[in-house]
Structure 1
Amino acid sequence: MSLFKAASTVSLLTLVSRITGLVRELLMASTFGASAMTDAFNVAFRIPNLFRRLFAEGAFSQAFVPVLAASRAKNGETDTKLLIDRVATLLTWALLLTCVIGVAAAPVLVWLMASGLKQDPRGFEAAVFMTRWMFPYIGFMSLVALSAGILNTWKRFAVPAATPVLLNLSMIAAAWLGAPWFKAQGIEPIYAMGAGVMLGGLLQLSVQIPALLRIGLLPRIGLSLTAIRLAWADSGTRNIARLMVPALLGVSVAQVSLLINTQIASHMAPGSVSWLTYADRLMEFPTAMLGVAIGVVLMPQLAAAKAADDAEKYSAMLDWGLRIVVLLAVPSAVALLTFAQPLVATLYHYGAFTDRDVQQTTTALMGYGAGLVGLVAIKVLAPGFYASQDIRTPVKIAVVVLVMTQLLNLALVPFFQHAGLALAIGIGALINALWLLLGLRKRGSYRPAPGWGVFALQVLAASALLAVFLLWSAQAVSWTGLRAESFKRIGLLALVLLASSAIYFGALWAAGLKVRTLMRR
């Protein structure tokens, strides 16, 4: 499977995931709005997600996938299967211990994440209750990440990419069917979302089992102390653990930033955490479709190229990934900056979601949009280091950027409130991406192919034309005024997006850029 086909598969399935995710957020916004109780759920959901990023797609995946790919290339599949079994054994026992501690420490975790919820004792208690119920979610998702690392290394990209859809469908069912039922039983309706999260985690783990059985790599988890000792003595698991130490620091830096931002937002106007969450969901749409899709495909391929000492292929894959980022992330950023309000209004402006919620979510989305190119580029640039089993360099950069982001918060939050938090993250991402790029260039891992200057001018010219059209479209229609005519508003949005695509790619074609050739290069 070519890089383009693999990335297209992941991107298409990620699109399905993000569409169902938007439906989920739309239902949540219309059912619950933005209130102290939605803030409580969002805080409670962020806590297991924070730990998930330590054990799952964050530090663990960054350490596991390069070692797994190198083991397959050098040692063969029999030894690699043994490595998988031993890694799964250690991970499972670590997760069990973490879940027990997390459930017991829920009040402390909620206070550390969002002490501002104490202003409303009911909201704080709800957050603690939901944290306890949802904390085991990290166990499901961390084992899903283990499975995804195996399947992606064996170029089975479809199942890992489609898996998140199951969480979205579970949460949609919770908001649509569960919340009214809970209310009829005299139970706080928002608790239905916690049940939806747990069901989604269980379903996501379940679908990995047949996929792993088909390639004969379903892990065998050791239950005895002897199995644990043997697993820890394995040189491969020790190498993963060694790589995880700096990776944990790097992921922790990102999570500390999230924790600080959530803490700050919890002391602002009620609904601030939710406004940022709704904006973040929209921002993740292009981030996941572009950055995550390309990064997932590139990581094992880069690791294999490094193991084979093929520097030319290594650099060429990075160059291809960066060109795709520029080609698609720049117009996406333009759209978020010039057309944010119509997007928010069309997707969220129903039921309990008010005009004020639209405006506040819009400003947060524009803040994220300012740094979208950086957020996407990091997903391509960081694997350039991870594939070489160099996790320390990205971590050092992340630590410095964290400090810079918090300094930006001091300058921006007094003027822009919650939107200042989003803008600081966006600017920090741009700095992070540029630093990673310069690092790869300096060490000679990445050598830009000819033609970047002309390519950049073509993209910028087409994006400028797109910006003019989107600014006009945002002003030509009263997007919030069409609340009662939802189908008309959705239809208009679809027409604008189709016209935007035609204008952008048409301008690129007129400028002489052969997009299909670039995609398949």
Structure 2
Amino acid sequence: MIRSILSVGGWTLVSRGTGFLRDVVMAAVMGAGPIADAFVVAFRLPNHFRAIFGEGAFNVAFVPTYAGLDGAGAPGAAKAFADRVFTLMLLVQVLVLALALPLMPAVVRALAPGFADEPEKFALAVALTRITFPYLLFITLVTLLSGILNARRRFAAAAAAPVLLNLSLLVALGLAFLFPNAAYAAAWGVAVSGVLQFGLVLADARRAGLAPALVRPTLADAGMRRFFRMLGPAVVGSAGVQIAMFADTIIASFLPTGAVSALYYADRLYQLPFGVIGIAAGTVLLPEMSRRLAAGDADAAHAAQNRATGFSLALSAPFAVAFLLVPDLIMAALFQRGAFDAQAAARAGSVLAAYGLALPAAVLIRSIVASFYARHDTRTPVMASLTAVAVNVALKVVLTEPLGVMGLALATAAGVWVNVLILFALARRRGWTAPSRTLIVTACGVLAACAALAACTLGGLPLIERLIPSLPRFRELAVLSVLGLTGLVAYAATLLAALRLFGVRLRRV
């Protein structure tokens, strides 16, 4: 299972790496002004709907059902189920697209009401969203095909598909001179990438003989009924998370220009470890636990969960420490060039620090929630998610006035921790999770390694800044690189020493 996590994580790392390059180019070309704000809204809107109806809800309903039919159902039952779901999703997405395009001004006004006071920015956001919205249709089908491939332990194509989004955007930004402005170029890059990603995963599914066919959809069979029983609560749960993200955009649209962009760039760095580690572990763990529970082996399912949890925690913790201790240096080193000035870097840095508080919980939640989804329980995560969203949104209202855009991120961190603590408490009480001794030892080792990393960062930064001379460009990047390398050595050495002391090997947590 660790090999599969590394495979997914490796491709996700490539995706996040190219995504980082994409964001650096976007920041330099568009900065953090009105054009960037309008594009961020246009980019977020189809992704919000994808997270509600596609990636979030769909995976937790489809993957366990498909894996169960594939492992214990009649021959061909899983294929017939996938065919029906594929056809139904295609019809639904075509209908959503037909309704959304003419109503886009109302949709944008609902998502970013603060833009209504700036007619030019509002009109640009509407035009850009009409270009990006068809991305939703293709990426939803990509999610379905990825679920089929993942259930059969074929992870590479699905994990590699997001790379095409980044490459498409980079090419589009390189051709920005052909468009009215860079935001139009980026929007077309998003739309084209949906087609490219769909083509990639469809080709892999065909090679494996898993490509679904168009059939007459029906709800009459047991697999479809089980799918929809799980999908309903999962949609509500995913919608709850997206409500909090909608609230971010809505409130940020009323803040001074650049707040929406600050959230975006900080979130992109926050999503790097979350996507590479948390999502990779969750992607592999859910079908793994589903298969083992279907076979009646709960102990093996819990062992798989412990391995994924320990691995995720060890790899994500140093990012959280860095985000908390040197957020301004990170943003300045990575983004401060071109139209992205020092003020924009400082604003985004404050948001990144707040996201650092959320990162450990955000990574671990993907492993903990598998306890419920693998047992076909989507209702409990919904209740936990909605409780967390209530806390999140309430804190956004309270914290935004005194803290500005940083308050939005702090509220997000609080909501994520509420969610993960509720889920862990309920899973523990039901006997659906069983942390092992080695997992507890690993967690203690990670805490000790984080303390060593913090000491190395705080003590080493002044020294490194004195040793590295003033450079006309990229001094911050040089300082960050040296600091990151020394911190990595300190963290890894401390963690490995702690694990060795108690006879624990990380890959066998």
Q: Deviation string for 1:25-61 (max 9, x for gaps)?
A: 0000000101112111111111111111123211111
Q: Is the 8 A contact 2:442 2:506 kept in 1?
A: no
- What is the aligned counterpart of 2:119 among 121, 128, 142? 121
Q: Deviation string for 1:98-122 (max 9, x for gaps)?
A: 1111112111110110110112101
1:179 partnered with 2:176: yes
C-alpha deviation, 1:152, in angstroms: 0.5
C-alpha deviation, 1:481, in angstroms: 10
Q: Deviation string for 1:75-103 (max 9, x for gaps)?
A: 15511111111111111101110111111
Distance change >3 Å, CA 483–CA 18, structure 1 → 2: farther
Counterpart residue number, 1:193 = 186
Counterpart residue number, 1:206 = 199
Counterpart residue number, 1:66 = 64
Provide the C-alpha distance between the structure 2 equivalents of 1:313 and 1:155, rounded to a whole number of angstroms.
18
Distance change >3 Å, CA 96–CA 483, structure 1 → 2: farther
Residues 129-138 or 21-30, more deviating = 129-138
Provide the C-alpha distance between the structure 1 equivalents of 2:278 and 2:371, rounded to a whole number of angstroms.
13
Q: Is the 8 A contact 1:349 1:483 kept in 2?
A: no
Q: Deviation string for 1:206-225 (max 9, x for gaps)?
A: 11122111211111013xxx
Provide the C-alpha distance between the structure 2 equivalents of 1:474 and 1:30, rounded to a whole number of angstroms.
26
Counterpart residue number, 1:151 = 149
Residues 338-347 or 15-24, more deviating = 338-347
Distance change >3 Å, CA 77–CA 171, structure 1 → 2: farther
Counterpart residue number, 2:473 = 485
TM-score by length of 2: 0.96
**Correspondence 1:35-46 to 2 at 5 A:** 35-46=33-44
C-alpha deviation, 1:200, in angstroms: 0.9
Counterpart residue number, 1:48 = 46
Q: Is the 8 A contact 2:438 2:504 kept in 1?
A: no
1:217 partnered with 2:210: yes
Q: Is the 8 A contact 2:60 2:234 kept in 1?
A: yes
**Correspondence 1:91-490 to 2 at 5 A:** 91-175=89-173, 177-182=174-179, 187-222=180-215, 227-228=216-217, 231-476=218-463, 484-486=472-474, 488-490=475-477
Distance change >3 Å, CA 29–CA 516, structure 1 → 2: farther
Provide the C-alpha distance between the structure 1 equivalents of 2:209 and 2:504, rounded to a whole number of angstroms.
36
Q: Is the 8 A contact 1:346 1:493 kept in 2?
A: yes
Provide the C-alpha distance between the structure 1 equivalents of 2:370 and 2:443, rounded to a whole number of angstroms.
23
Q: Deviation string for 1:334-392 (max 9, x for gaps)?
A: 11101212211111011000100010000000011111111111111112211111000
SS at match of 2:369: helix
Provide the C-alpha distance between the structure 1 equivalents of 2:278 and 2:236, rounded to a whole number of angstroms.
22
Q: Is the 8 A contact 2:499 2:506 kept in 1?
A: no
Provide the C-alpha distance between the structure 2 equivalents of 1:417 and 1:113, rounded to a whole number of angstroms.
19
Provide the C-alpha distance between the structure 2 equivalents of 1:204 and 1:516, rounded to a whole number of angstroms.
40
Counterpart residue number, 2:488 = 501
TM-score by length of 1: 0.94
Provide the C-alpha distance between the structure 2 equivalents of 1:345 and 1:315, rounded to a whole number of angstroms.
42
Q: Is the 8 A contact 2:29 2:182 kept in 1?
A: no
Q: Deviation string for 1:185-210 (max 9, x for gaps)?
A: xx133111111001111110011122
Question: Pairwise CA RMSD of aligned residues?
Answer: 1.9
- Structure 1 segments, 4+ long, off by >6 Å, are 478-483
Provide the C-alpha distance between the structure 2 equivalents of 1:499 and 1:327, rounded to a whole number of angstroms.
17
Residues 448-457 or 148-157, more deviating = 448-457
Provide the C-alpha distance between the structure 2 equivalents of 1:193 and 1:516, rounded to a whole number of angstroms.
47
Provide the C-alpha distance between the structure 2 equivalents of 1:11 and 1:96, rounded to a whole number of angstroms.
32
Q: Is the 8 A contact 1:37 1:190 kept in 2?
A: yes
Provide the C-alpha distance between the structure 1 equivalents of 2:392 and 2:118, rounded to a whole number of angstroms.
29
Residues 380-389 or 68-77, more deviating = 68-77
C-alpha deviation, 1:328, in angstroms: 2.1
Query: Size of the alignment, in residue pairs?
Result: 507
SS at match of 2:382: helix
Provide the C-alpha distance between the structure 1 equivalents of 2:251 and 2:63, rounded to a whole number of angstroms.
35
Q: Is the 8 A contact 1:349 1:355 kept in 2?
A: yes
Provide the C-alpha distance between the structure 2 equivalents of 1:170 and 1:67, rounded to a whole number of angstroms.
34
Distance change >3 Å, CA 408–CA 478, structure 1 → 2: farther
The unaligned stretches of length 5 or more in structure 2 are none
Q: Is the 8 A contact 2:499 2:505 kept in 1?
A: no
- Percent identical among aligned pairs is 36
Provide the C-alpha distance between the structure 1 equivalents of 2:234 and 2:471, rounded to a whole number of angstroms.
46
Provide the C-alpha distance between the structure 1 equivalents of 2:61 and 2:306, rounded to a whole number of angstroms.
23
Distance change >3 Å, CA 483–CA 55, structure 1 → 2: farther
The unaligned stretches of length 5 or more in structure 1 are none
**Correspondence 1:12-51 to 2 at 5 A:** 12-51=10-49
Q: Deviation string for 1:380-409 (max 9, x for gaps)?
A: 111221111100000001111111112222
Q: Is the 8 A contact 1:458 1:513 kept in 2?
A: no
Q: Is the 8 A contact 1:90 1:232 kept in 2?
A: no
Distance change >3 Å, CA 481–CA 412, structure 1 → 2: farther
